[in-house]
Amino acid sequence: MGAVTGAPPLAAEDDLRRDRSGHLRGRTVLDRCIGWLLPLLFLVAIAPILDLVYWVASRALPTFTLSIITTNPSGAAGGLLSPIVGSLEILLLATLVAIALGFFGGLATAEYLDEETAGAIRVTANVMVGIPSIILGLFGFIVFVKYFGWGASLAAAGVTLGIFMTPYVYRATDLAYLSVPPHIREAAVGSGATPLQYLFRVATPIAFPSVLTGIFLAMAIGVGETAPILLATTPVAIPPLSLFQPASALPLYIWSGFENGLILPVAIHRAFQAAFLLLVIVVGLNVLVRIIAARSRRRLEGLFQ
Partner 1 sequence: MSQPPVAGPAGGRQPLPFLARLRAGIARWWPYVPALLPLALTLAIVDSLIGASRLQNFGAGFFGFIITDYGILIFVVGSFLTSVPALVIAMLVGLGIAIASTTYLPRFLSEWLDPFVDLLAGIPSIVYGLWGFLIVAPFFGHDIFPTVAPALAWIPGFHPSFNSPSLEGTGLALGIIILTLMILPITTLLMRDALRSVPRDLWESGLALGATRWEVARHVAIPYAKRGIWGAAFLGFGRAMGETVAVYFVIDQTARLPTNIYAPTSTMASLIVSSIAQNLAGTDLHFLAEMALVLLAITLVVNVAGRWMIRRTFTDVAGL
Partner 2 sequence: MTAESGAMTTPVVAVDGVSVRTRDRTILDKISLDFSARSLTAVVGPSGCGKTTFIRTLNRMAELTPGLRIQGRVLYLGQDVYDPTVNPVVVRRRMGMVFQRPTVFPASVFENAAFGLRLVRASEEEIDAAVTEALQRAGLWDEVHSHLDGPALALSGGQQQRLCIARALAVRPKVLLLDEPTSALDPAATQRVEATLQHLKEEIVVILVTHNVGQAARVSDRVAFLHSGHLVEVGATADMLERPREKLTEQFITGRFE
List contacts with partner 2 (CB under 8 A).
Answer: 1-5, 7, 10, 14-17, 19-21, 23-24, 27-28
**HSE (side-chain half, CA atoms, 13 Å) at 287:** 6
Which of 211, 111, 90 lies closest to 161, judged by CA? 90
Q: Among partner 1, partner 2, none, what does residue 231 contact (CB within 5–8 Å per kind)?
A: partner 1
Q: Among partner 1, partner 2, none, what does residue 278 contact (CB within 5–8 Å per kind)?
A: partner 1
60-99 positions binding partner 1, by CB under 8 A: none
Sign of the Cα torsion 64, 65, 68, 74 reads negative
- Rg of the Cα atoms in the chain: 28
Distance (Å, rounded) from C-alpha 104 to C-alpha 91? 20
Residue 17 C-beta: closest distance to partner 2, Å: 6
Instruction: Determine, following the binding rule CB under 8 A, whether residue 167 of this chain makes contact with partner 1.
Output: yes
Q: Among partner 1, partner 2, none, what does residue 291 contact (CB within 5–8 Å per kind)?
A: none
8 A C-beta contact, residue 165 and residue 106: no
Instruction: Determine, following the binding rule CB under 8 A, whether residue 278 of this chain makes contact with partner 1.
Output: yes
The residue among 13 and 116 lying less far from partner 1, judged by its C-beta, is 116
4-63 positions binding partner 1, by CB under 8 A: 27-28, 30-31, 34-35, 38-39, 41-42, 44-46, 48-49, 51-52, 55-56, 59
8 A C-beta contact, residue 89 and residue 158: yes
191-220 positions binding partner 1, by CB under 8 A: 195, 220
Residues 6+ apart with CB under 8 A from 53: 279
8 A C-beta contact, residue 102 and residue 168: yes
Residue 57 C-beta: closest distance to partner 1, Å: 11
